[in-house]
Amino acid sequence: MEYITYSLELFKNIDWSFIWSILRDIVLPNSGTLIFNIILFLFLGFIIAFMYNILLWRKGIFKRAPKYYNWVVKLYIPLLFIGILYVFGQWGFIRGIYKILDNEKVMIVEGIYNSSVQQIFKSEDAKNKFVLSAQILAMKAKSDSQDYAIFFKKHLTKYDTGNSFLNRTKNKLVKFIVTNYSDDLYTLTMYAFIASAGKGHIDLSEALPYEEFSAVMDLLLEVGYQDIEKIVLEKLSEWFSMAITSQYNGMVKSILIILFLILILPLLEYFIYKKWIHPKYISNVV
């Protein structure tokens, strides 16, 4: 009873207008793709069902010793056709929807992006200002890296270890680091601070490796507003493709399990017949 009540509650909460908008704007204009996949898979299902029934017939799977049993077991033939066609019809339907979503992913992703951005930014100008502020932050990080490098060099080269050999080695190392990594010193330090602050809550070092963090800073300096949007849309497109592919593969696995059960059912029943029923019938007849 609780399950029925829960199911009814879920049914009431379905956003039918949203589902209809998807059908109207995406599925219906591409109904040819959906129909083609359904017909194709139904045809494949019919061929497989026909060949499988022929195979079972030739192997004697549909033959039984008692007459009534022999006639009843023939029902496997239409049942196998119905079951296999049902499975392949579902598979074709799911494949058609998957192909439509994959073909229209650019439009869908743009819709997701625009809807998300509208929730965050009140206007196009506000969005542009946000991107500009991010670029200014990146510019400041690069500028501060230079200042930090100078401070780093002065502080370490002035520190006297008391050993001339160690001092020379230390100063050479400092010079090498500053010369080759001056642009990244401040960025690396800020990243270390952020990662340390996240310990105990979120492991930021795993969520965003330094190489990616630094690449984002460089990207903000090199690209413009529309280029950033293009990259975001590309990432969203990759995510969307992986999401629908994962869902499709999961559904197909479930369908294949059902197909396997349908195909193996007459074989299991025949095994039971040959193992226990047929020997008893023969002994009673004799």
- For 69-107, what is each residue's pLDDT tens digit? 889 999 999 999 999 999 999 999 999 999 998 988 888
Would the pLDDT of 21 be above 90? no
CB 127 within 8 A of CB 119: no
Name the residue among 243, 256, 249 with its Cα closest to residue 95: 249
- Residue spans per domain, the chain: 2-103+245-285, 123-222
Who has greater pLDDT, 136 or 92? 92
Task: Determine the average pLDDT of the residues in 121-140.
Answer: 68
pLDDT of residue 6: 43
Task: Determine the average pLDDT of the residues in 126-133.
Answer: 69
CB 266 within 8 A of CB 56: yes
pLDDT of residue 67: 81
The structure tokens listed for 250 are 């999961």
Task: Determine the average pLDDT of the residues in 150-174.
Answer: 59
pLDDT of residue 65: 80
Q: Which of 11-25, 67-81, 102-116, 161-175 has the highest mean pLDDT?
A: 67-81
Residues 6+ apart with CB under 8 A from 68: none
Residue 283: count other Cβ atoms within 10 Å of its Cβ. Answer: 8
Contacts 24+ apart (CB under 8 A), 170-179: 177/152, 178/149, 178/152, 178/153
Whole-angstrom Cα distance, residue 221 to residue 140?
10
Task: Determine the average pLDDT of the residues in 46-56.
Answer: 97
Looking at residue 118, its amino acid is Q
Q: What is the mean pLDDT of the chain?
A: 75
pLDDT of residue 204: 45
Name the helix (H) or strand (E) containing 143: helix 124-158
Looking at residue 267, its amino acid is L
pLDDT digits (tens, 9 = 90+) for 187-224: 665 565 555 554 444 444 444 555 666 666 666 666 66
Looking at residue 249, its amino acid is N
Torsion angle defined by CA atoms of residues 202, 203, 206 and 207, in that order, rounded to the nearest 10 degrees: 20
CB 70 within 8 A of CB 63: yes
